[in-house]
Amino acid sequence: MKAGRKRSGRTILQKMLIPVTAIVLAQAALYAVVFLQGGVLSHTDANAYDILGERTINRQLYLENEMVHRWSNVKEHETAILSSVEETLKAQGATLGDIATDAALNAQILDGLSDSLVYMLRKNGVTGAFVVLDGVGVQGDESGQSRAGLYLRDLDPVNNSSGVSDILMERGMPTTSRRMGIPLDSYWRADFLFTGEEGRADEQFFLAPLNAARASTNRESSNFGYWSPAFSLSGQDGQVITYSIPLIASDGTVFGVMGVDITQSYLTSLMNYEELGVDHSGAYILAVTDKEGQQFQTVFSSGSLYQVKFGVSQEIVGKKSEHKNISTFTRTGEGGKSDLYGSVQPFSLYNTNTPFEGQQWVLIGLCEGDTLLQFSHQIRQIIYLCTVAALLLGILGAVLASRMVAKPITALVQDLKRSDPNKPIKLKKLDIEEIDQLTISIENLSNAAAESASKFGQIISTTNIPVGVFEYAPQAPSVFCSTNIFPILGWPQEEQVDGRLPREVFEQRMQALQECLVEDGEEGLLYRLPSGPEGERWVRLTFLKEGGQILGAITDVSKDMAEKRKIEYERDYDILTNLYNRRAFAANMERLFETPEVLGTAALLMWDLDNLKFVNDNYGHDSGDRYIEAFARCLSAFLSEQSLVARRSGDEFYVFLYGYQSKEKIRQIIRKVWMQIGHTTFPLAGKDFKIRVSGGLAWYPDDASSYEDLIRYADFAMYSVKHSEKGSIQEFERTSYQADSFLVRGQEELNRLIDHRLVRFAYQPVLEVATGSVYGYELLMRSQVEALRSPVDVLRIARAQSKLYQIERLTWFEAMASFSQQVKAGQIGPNERAFVNSIASQSLTGSDITALEDLYGPYLERVVMEITEQEPWDNERTRFKIRTAKRWGGQLAIDDFGSGYNSESLLIFLSPDIVKVDIAIVHDIDRDGDRLSLLENLLSYAHSRGIKVLAEGVETRAEMETLVARGVDYLQGYYVARPQLEIAPVEPDVLRAIQAAREKIR
């Protein structure tokens, strides 16, 4: 570049700073307009008012529900009190008119209804309950102000004692206090004093409903219910509000009032002011207003805001604001703008056209404006600050960014001017002074570097990093070698000069490298070099012949080979135990069995690690993994050239010992390892946990000559020991296998039966002897799985596989589905019942019972739940079944009585509706006196307790006649009818025979 070249264009700083600054200014202006004029803040204010309104409404609805549906729900108690008064008057030979003058009579009346008052106090959850009679309270009173009454108070209605120790008597006779054990309050007196002065709140709870009822011809007491303003009963104790109604006799005489009170402390505890305002500084006000809703008479308030703003004033003024359902509040007599906002929510306490409907009770949720709109104010301040900050930061950022971009480019230009021209770099011209200078410098360097880069580009394109390259020409005195090739191959670099080795040295070293050749494949030549400090090293050589030259690349593939070996290891070995996995074990076993001459006498052991689920569930899966590792270390004692050891699955392991001359030698090895296992523990939760396993063993060739059979027999032996002597080793026994192998084979069949609901039900009628009609049908499960035709087999496998609950659930849902279909089809009468078998040790979960009720609710009252005796019964589950059956309206029956577990104790415990006598007692009962005696004893016991007796398994007419003669209530068996998938009527001859037998005993 010439020194005098004219500078043109603008600097990067100029090009960037001006437009970026303009954009930042525009963004700041737009930001301010959108937030300040776009309605965001007004919406935020409205949201604050809405939240205040919603919380006040929720609190008002809660209090209204308590006031209307709980505290003032006194109808039940009114009836009890009126009845008590009537009974006392009748017992004393008095009339309602005597109440006005007879203090002794009034004391007896109040004493008689005291229990009802305690009951009302407890049930309605109020702090006080009272009855005031419009009659003299103390004998000899001449002022006319004394009124007889009983007033009880419980200051903590939430927590009730078992007796009356938490109740105080405010008004009432000491005799009642002593009788009931209720202490007298500090401000107690025997009677009420009413001066009759107008406007006294402490008298209105009595006089207002009393006078209103007497002034009306309506005799419905609830129409005169009255909520009083706050007052103190004695002038010194806490304030209360009351709800009272007149006591109106059946003849229309109004002779007193009854009601409840709510103390200020209890009511304000329900007015949770902390839910108002972001700093919990709001207040709730319970007030009374007129229909205009502008003047409010405060009853109670919660929160300090009311006292701070209004002091002791009991009247406040509300003025509706521009916000929906929001008013501003000031003290009565004050003017000016208020910073108090409140949501006024009215209560619906009085019916229309009643004396006190003009008294409107309201709940006011109150907040200061600054508190209520605090979030909105914060947003406004944040917007102002962010706008200014964004503007300043944007301008500052534009300046700094422009300088940061310009400075390195300028520096780069200077560096390029001093760079080696053989290294090509080329940049695009951008008509910017700094970059133009950079472009000129690059163009001066680019041509010299192009030719040199071409050759090496071809080499680099054939390989991956890390790679070393060489260029070999047979006639050249030296060979070019890149610097990477020396560390990759472990070659010394002393003999190279400027990256070139003498040709003879290069050829000698390549010849020596051939001794490490492992593979000559399509991907090139693979070499395994002697191990160094970093372990085993692998390199791959690829080359390209071009004319008389050879361009080669040598790549270090040690990481690839290590990854490949790792993949192969993970394919064949269990990562946790470092033993063979199931796939590798199977592959090795197949290979061994291809050459049976090497097997000799062999044994396959299948191990099952006991208590793994317990460790996982109680100590976590990390502890479970350590448990597995500890056992795997024990099994490593088997490892030798004549063994295979593998982990089959989570808690199951294989050990195959082969090539021995006798079984005894193998047994010695097993015993030695077994003793080692017995003494092995591993730390668990600070204690030594003992390893416990069960094992099954099968011999080759005595038990099986094929790998598959050997696995199956060892599996069966292990299954047998797991369900008998857990924690031991058992050898395969063919006789046991032939008898019980279906328990193993049947696992999948049972799963298929459960998963696909492969059952249906046969119906066997139950006849009622007294009427000769069908009382119901027993639904007998029939499996549709060929291998599990017998219900006994189904239960055996389910019991062994811990799946009795699934069978219980399947029975109930499928039985009720079948029964409901038969009812809808008209095959079962409207009064005929469904006898459904229930496993004694199982009960449906709450969710399954709910699902059953949702699906078949109308039919459950016709269920007779049969508790089978083939399983031990569980107290808790049995009680749950009893409650469930009774709740449905169904019946409970003991099935197969006399054949299973604890028949007599179960009969006493259950007290069932029906007892089904087992066929073992019924069979030949007409010829066996012992069986007959058993039946007669059962009939005597059952009938004396209202329990019906059903004889099942009746097969002959003689058995039927004997059973009918002895008073059996129901009959079931082949004589009556066999179980059928399609319901058919009972044979007429059978019905006539039963009728004839019944007539004989008449």
CA distance 390 to 383: 10
Query: If you average pLDDT over residues 236-252, what whole number do you get?
Result: 93
Three-class secondary structure of residue 582 per DSSP: helix
pLDDT over 90 (residue 525): no
**pTM exceeding the 0.75 threshold for the entire prediction:** no
Percent of the chain with pLDDT over 90: 45
633-688 pLDDT, tens digit per residue, is 998 888 876 899 999 888 899 999 999 999 999 999 999 999 998 888 888 888 88
Q: What is the mean pLDDT of the chain?
A: 84
All domains of the chain in start order, with CATH: 72-250 (no CATH), 271-370 (no CATH), 462-562 (3.30.450), 573-732 (3.30.70.270), 762-780+833-1000 (3.20.20.450)
Query: What is the pLDDT, as a whole number, of residue 412?
Result: 53
Residue 76 has which token pair? 């039940």
pLDDT over 90 (residue 718): no
pLDDT over 60 (residue 459): no
15-28 pLDDT, tens digit per residue, is 666 777 777 777 76
pLDDT over 80 (residue 145): yes
Q: Answer for the pair 170, 190: CB distance below 8 angstroms, yes or no.
A: no
DSSP character at residue 985:
P
pLDDT over 90 (residue 111): yes
CA distance 951 to 978: 15
CA distance 670 to 379: 79
pLDDT over 90 (residue 492): no
Query: If you average pLDDT over residues 106-131, what whole number do you get?
Result: 94
Q: Answer for the pair 971, 994: CB distance below 8 angstroms, yes or no.
A: yes
| Greater pLDDT, 371 or 846 | 846
Query: What is the pLDDT, as a whole number, of residue 151?
Result: 96
Give the contacts of 22 (CB within 8 A, at least 6 positions apart): none
| Greater pLDDT, 329 or 890 | 890
Which of left, alpha, beta for 492 (phi over 0: left; psi -120 to 50: alpha)? Answer: beta
Query: What is the pLDDT, as a whole number, of residue 682?
Result: 86
754-813 pLDDT, tens digit per residue, is 999 999 999 999 999 999 999 999 999 999 988 788 888 888 888 877 789 999 999 999
To the nearest 10°, report the CA torsion of 22, 23, 25, 27.
160
Q: Answer for the pair 806, 798: CB distance below 8 angstroms, yes or no.
A: yes
Neighbours of 250 (CB within 10 A): 8
Residue 428 has which token pair? 């695009």
Q: Answer for the pair 192, 323: CB distance below 8 angstroms, yes or no.
A: no
DSSP character at residue 67:
I
Query: What is the pLDDT, as a whole number, of residue 332?
Result: 59
Query: What is the pLDDT, as a whole number, of residue 414?
Result: 55
250-287 pLDDT, tens digit per residue, is 999 999 999 999 999 999 999 988 888 767 778 999 99
To the nearest 10°, report the CA torsion of 569, 573, 578, 581.
180
pLDDT over 60 (residue 816): yes
Neighbours of 188 (CB within 10 A): 16
Pairing type for strands 254-263 and 239-248 reads antiparallel
Query: What is the pLDDT, as a whole number, of residue 425?
Result: 57
Give the contacts of 637 (CB within 8 A, at least 6 positions apart): 672, 673, 676
Query: What is the pLDDT, as a whole number, of residue 35?
Result: 61
Mapped to the 3 state alphabet, what secondary structure does 253-264 carry?
CEEEEEEEEEEH
Query: If you average pLDDT over residues 916-932, what whole number do you get?
Result: 92
Q: Which of 274, 279, 275, 273 is nearest to 375 (CA)?
A: 279
Query: What is the pLDDT, as a whole number, of residue 411?
Result: 57
Count helices and strands (H / E) in the chain.
Answer: 30, 38
pLDDT over 80 (residue 418): no
pLDDT over 60 (residue 398): yes
pLDDT over 50 (residue 902): no
569-612 pLDDT, tens digit per residue, is 878 888 888 899 989 999 999 999 999 999 999 999 999 998 88
Q: Answer for the pair 654, 644: CB distance below 8 angstroms, yes or no.
A: yes
Give the contacts of 764 (CB within 8 A, at least 6 positions apart): 777, 778, 780, 972, 976, 977, 978, 979, 980
41-75 pLDDT, tens digit per residue, is 677 777 888 888 898 899 999 999 999 999 999 99
Percent of the chain with pLDDT over 70: 86
Q: Which of 360, 127, 112, 94 is nearest to 227 (CA)?
A: 360
The model's confidence at residue 355, banded by pLDDT at 50, 70 and 90, is very high
847-869 pLDDT, tens digit per residue, is 999 999 999 999 999 999 998 76
Backbone angles phi, psi at 529, to 5 degrees: -85, 155
The model's confidence at residue 454, banded by pLDDT at 50, 70 and 90, is very low
Query: If you average pLDDT over residues 352-356, what whole number do you get?
Result: 90
Can you state the angle between helices 582-593 and 707-722, rounded to 10 degrees? 130
Query: What is the pLDDT, as a whole number, of residue 106?
Result: 94
H or E element at residue 405: helix 374-417
Query: What is the pLDDT, as a whole number, of residue 909?
Result: 74
Count of CA atoms in the C-beta half-sphere (13 A) of 291: 3
CA distance 984 to 570: 65
Please state the separation of Cα 364 from the chain's center in Å.
Answer: 39
Q: What residues are paired with 541 via a beta bridge?
A: 525, 554
pLDDT over 80 (residue 544): yes
Query: If you average pLDDT over residues 328-336, what whole number do you get?
Result: 66
Lowest-confidence segment of 490-499, 513-522, 956-965 by average pLDDT = 490-499
CA distance 396 to 590: 77
Query: What is the pLDDT, as a whole number, of residue 950?
Result: 97
Lowest-confidence segment of 427-436, 463-472, 695-704, 828-837 by average pLDDT = 427-436
**DSSP class per residue in 278-308:** TTS--EEEEEEE-TT--EEEEEEEESHHHHH
| Greater pLDDT, 835 or 510 | 835
H or E element at residue 341: strand 340-346
Query: If you average pLDDT over residues 128-157, what whole number do you get?
Result: 91
Query: What is the pLDDT, as a whole number, of residue 878?
Result: 84
| Greater pLDDT, 459 or 547 | 547
CA distance 892 to 840: 12
Query: What is the pLDDT, as a whole number, of residue 402?
Result: 66
Can you state the angle between helices 103-112 and 114-123, rounded to 10 degrees? 40
Burial of 187 (0-12, 13-18, 19+ CB in 10 A): middle
Query: What is the pLDDT, as a whole number, of residue 64?
Result: 93
Query: What is the pLDDT, as a whole number, of residue 416?
Result: 55
